[in-house]
Amino acid sequence: MAPMPDPRETPHLKLRAASDEPAPEISPEASAPNSHASSKLNARTNSRTNSRDVLEDVLDDLEPAAAGASTRRRKARVGYLQQMIGFAVVVGLLWLLFGQGSPLAKQTEPTIAPVVETPRPWVATTSPAISDTLWQLGLIAHVVGRSPYCARVPKAVPVIGDLRDFDAERLALAKPDVLFVQPPLAGVDPALRTFCEKNGIRVVEQRLDSFAETRALVDQIARTFATEAKSGGDGLAGRLADAEKLFAEFEAATAQSAPATDPTDAQRNTATRARPKVLCLVSADPFLAVGHDNYLHELLTAEGFENALDREGWIEIAPEAIVALNIDAVLAIAESARGAERMRAAISQLPWTGASPVSAVVEAPQLLAPSLMALADRGRLRASYERAIAESKR
């Protein structure tokens, strides 16, 4: 390879120092190519200058836009912050109004009865008289099935049937150990008896037409709960003893008020003649009166009244037949306050030919079922009569 020539020894590459001699003048012809190059350089320089000016103009134009965008971003952030603050305030107010411990929350929260385990044995009944007796003995908490007419049983207890029909599905879900029934004259429904046998439910049936049969029911209940009456005892034993006392007092009052059969018993015959003769009504549309051989006739006798009707059972009676009776008073038993008002209105419209007898209407639904509760409340008949007598003398 040939060595690179030294520029100092090559004429056309010889460099001239700035201090050697003045540069030669260049003629126009010689300088023409150089002028063209200079023009290109000046054009490039002007172009760069113009580009800088354009860039500066663009930047100047972008500054307000950027400022506007920044302002919009700040406004957006402020709007979002305001929304979050508003949401927090709403949540706080809702908590104050409806949160735990708020008085308003206590008013709007649904009342849910606490779940309490039903004590054994579990019992069901299709009779209001039986459920009233269970209530009087303090055993209503054991009831897991009822009839739609059992007013003493909580409404949360499912309805399983009535005196004439039963709901197999609901009875199966209730799972009672014992079913107390008050059978009609035809007896217990064979289908009900078969169902209970298949499902391991013991059926206790008891007719209830008199207080002797109510006493038999109390004995059945005592055996079901394996408890004996004990005077002064606690719980069911003491209440069974109280029931025995009620029956004893009732029997003594009945014996004292019964008509004398011995003509020589002047004292009893005088007491019998002094008994008020009354018509006892249990309905006014139509009028339904109490005859003989039922528990209400027994109550009338025990309370010292003479029943104006000598027929048996429950007797539908016309208004003309009522005013034809020679009676001292009309006693009426109503199931509700509204029923009592209807009774009073119907009795006041009876076409009495002379002075109307005293009328006493008592709102006592417990007296409309042959239960231990009716026996305990029998004094209300006499009290309502005496109150009516006192008012008539004013």
pLDDT confidence of residue 72? 60
Whether 383 shows a pLDDT value over 80: the answer reads: yes
Nearest-angstrom CA–CA distance, 387 and 362: 11
pLDDT band, very low/low/confident/very high, at 178 (cuts 50, 70, 90): very high
Residue 147 confidence (pLDDT): 95
- Beta-carbon contacts of residue 64 (< 8 Å; ≥ 6 apart): none
Q: By percentage, how much of the chain surpasses pLDDT 90?
A: 58
pTM exceeds 0.75 for this model = no
* Domains of the chain and CATH, by start: 123-228+236-255 (3.40.50.1980), 271-392 (3.40.50.1980)
C-beta of residue 140 within 8 angstroms of C-beta of residue 152: yes
Tell me the HSE value of 191 on the side-chain side, using a 13 A CA sphere.
Answer: 7
pLDDT digit string (tens) for 335-378?
Answer: 999 999 999 999 999 999 888 999 999 999 999 999 999 999 99
The model's pLDDT over 245-303, given as tens digits with 9 standing for 90+, comes to 999 999 999 998 866 555 555 554 445 457 999 999 999 989 999 999 999 999 999 99
pLDDT of residue 355: 85
- Whether the predicted pLDDT of 55 surpasses 80: no
What pLDDT score does 80 carry?
65
User: Stretch 83-112: mean pLDDT, rounded?
Assistant: 59
Predicted confidence band of residue 21 (pLDDT cuts 50, 70, 90)? very low
* Both structure tokens of 166: 């039963």
Model confidence pLDDT, tens digit, residues 309-329 = 999 999 999 999 999 999 999
Give the pLDDT of residue 85. Answer: 80
